[in-house]
Amino acid sequence: MNEIIVAYWTGTGNTQTMAEYVAEGIREGGKTPKVVSVEEISADELKDAPVFALGCPSMGVETLEESVMEPFVEEVTGFAAGKKIGLFGSYGWGDGEWMRNWTDQMQEAGAEVYGGEDAICQEAPDEDAQDDLKELGKELASL
């Protein structure tokens, strides 16, 4: 499959910016990214995709956004077994607990997870985070 979906939820725009860096890495890796908000795609559209990426910032007490992203991720969990999923996101405070929990959730569902704590940043992605996100995209393109 030549197209890799990068689906994200954002509140401030930081996670959307991160998704664009993941997409840049996918392009550099020779594949075509499709960057889309989870509000504009259904989880069913990922069922046949062997590789995709999901992005969400940490919310509240280090959780996924509850009204849109969490239900989307719950649906994905139902068919995650055997998928290769890149996870990324931003945070305002905390220590990355939401990403560790999210990574565990996807791995327990049988997915192979890429990125995770290696693809998070505080607020907007700085140069190091941009490089990490591009590397995640390249890695996903190589799978």
- Counted domains in the chain: 1
Question: CA-CA distances (angstroms) from residue 132 to 1, 65, 108, 122?
Answer: 23, 23, 24, 13
Q: What is the CATH number of the domain that holds 87?
A: 3.40.50.360
**Per-residue confidence (pLDDT) for residue 75, from 0 to 100:** 97
Phi, psi dihedral angles at 125 (to 5 degrees) = -70, 125
The residue ranking higher by pLDDT, 94 or 58, is 58
**Per-residue confidence (pLDDT) for residue 95, from 0 to 100:** 81
Quick one: average pLDDT of 63-77? 95
> What band does 29 get if pLDDT is binned at 50, 70 and 90?
very high
pLDDT at 61 over 90: no
3-state helix, strand, coil in the chain (%, to 5): 40, 25, 30
- 95, 117 contact by CB (below 8 A): no
pLDDT at 1 over 70: no
- 25, 138 contact by CB (below 8 A): yes
Burial of 2 (0-12, 13-18, 19+ CB in 10 A): exposed
Q: Two tokens at 87?
A: 């996870």
> What band does 76 get if pLDDT is binned at 50, 70 and 90?
very high
**Per-residue confidence (pLDDT) for residue 111, from 0 to 100:** 98
How many percent of the chain have pLDDT more than 70? 99
pLDDT at 12 over 70: yes
Write out the residue range of the structural domain in which residue 55 sits. Answer: 3-142
Q: Tell me which residue of 143, 131, 142 sits closest to 22, measured CA to CA.
A: 131
